[in-house]
Amino acid sequence: MDQSEPQKPKYSSETVPIIDFGPYLAGEPGALERTAAEADAASRSLGFFFIRNHGVSQELIDRMFAETMRFHELPLERKLEVKVTPKENVGYLPQGGQTQLSYSKLYGESKHPDRSISYFVRKEYPEDHPDRLAGKPWVSNNRWPRELPGFRETCIEYFGAMSNTARRILTLHSVALGLGRDWLVEHDAFSKDAYTLRLLDYPPRDPLLDGQWGIGPHTDYGYGAILAQARVPGLEILTIKGDWIQAPALEGHLLFNCGDFAHRWTNGRYRAAPHRVVNYSGVHRNSVVFFTNSRGDVSMDCFPTCKSATEPPKFEATSFGEYITMLRKTNHTLKD
């Protein structure tokens, strides 16, 4: 056994900040600026924060989880009918379809494919939508399972609710960074809801396999992610000090984290924290992640308020599309 691998690490007592969106969403005087300052502080330190009173109905979240479980409980052959293709990352990603490699040396090696199983959804564009007819690059072809009434409708409704939540977070970052309230929301990079919804199932970890994770250590590629967890915890986050903390599955809360593009576009101010998932429980764990990615075809170096003559951009201008293409070559393996 490799002794350097943190299979059963000691966990830090540092906790994930909790931010109450209630007063901000109610439009209380001063709440926007106050909440923006809290989101800013959390984004600069741990890079993760819980959202209390996020404005998304618990009924919808519960229904999304019920549909997630219903999908994953389908016979394998039904799910394989909607398997992801090398061309588009939408649909079903079977177990073993992904192995995280990029942080292996630093944060614990992934010696086996991730144990998680996924279903990916992008924004739904009707057949006659002008963007679809024009072949716009942000239009994907969702792969809906047949004979699963209510599944598609719930995914689309949840996608819409999370798009609103993403805009609220972008507004907070925009205010905190001095860009002006609507700068990010109105920027081309976020103009087409180029987000991805991922419905996850984590079977219990195989205790016989060292270095196997539900999802191996990684940072998120895009601007950020909004996570809803069911009852079983499993997410672990690396702190600035280099300790792992376990995020609880806090009922009624969403969890936001900054990704690589929040880091790049804030010139390093916001932290894309390495994190991983391991299901130590004896039961399946489900989570629903909404990746608040920017448009694949919009390139930016960093936000105008995050650079100056004495603080030039640290990162080259990159679009999400270019970045993900580069990462896929080394990090994200799709197998037959």
Residues near Fe ion, by CB under 5 A: 220
Comparing CB distances to Fe ion, the nearer of 36 and 238 is: 238
CB 220, min distance to Fe ion, A: 4
Q: Are 222 and 327 in contact (CB under 8 A)?
A: no
CB 75, min distance to Fe ion, A: 28
Closest residue to Fe ion: CB criterion? 220
Comparing CB distances to Fe ion, the nearer of 176 and 238 is: 238
Comparing CB distances to Fe ion, the nearer of 116 and 154 is: 116
CB 285, min distance to Fe ion, A: 14
Q: How many CB atoms are located within 10 Å of the residue 274 CB? A: 22
Q: Are 255 and 229 in contact (CB under 8 A)?
A: yes
Q: How many CB atoms are located within 10 Å of the residue 162 CB? A: 26
CB 46, min distance to Fe ion, A: 14
CB 3, min distance to Fe ion, A: 27
Q: Scan for tokens 């999908």, then name that residue.
A: 71
Ramachandran angles phi, psi of 51, nearest 5°? -115, 120
Comparing CB distances to Fe ion, the nearer of 120 and 125 is: 120
Q: Scan for tokens 């002006």, then name that residue.
A: 180
Q: What is the DSSP string of 13-30?
A: -----EEE-HHHHTT-TT
Strand boundaries in 174-220, DSSP class E: 196-202, 215-218
Amino acid at 276: R
Ramachandran angles phi, psi of 131, nearest 5°? -65, -35
3-state secondary structure of 246: strand
Comparing CB distances to Fe ion, the nearer of 35 and 219 is: 219
Comparing CB distances to Fe ion, the nearer of 67 and 236 is: 236
Comparing CB distances to Fe ion, the nearer of 40 and 220 is: 220
244-246, strands of its sheet edge to edge: 215-218, 275-277, 235-238, 244-246
CB 114, min distance to Fe ion, A: 11
CB 186, min distance to Fe ion, A: 27
Amino acid at 332: H
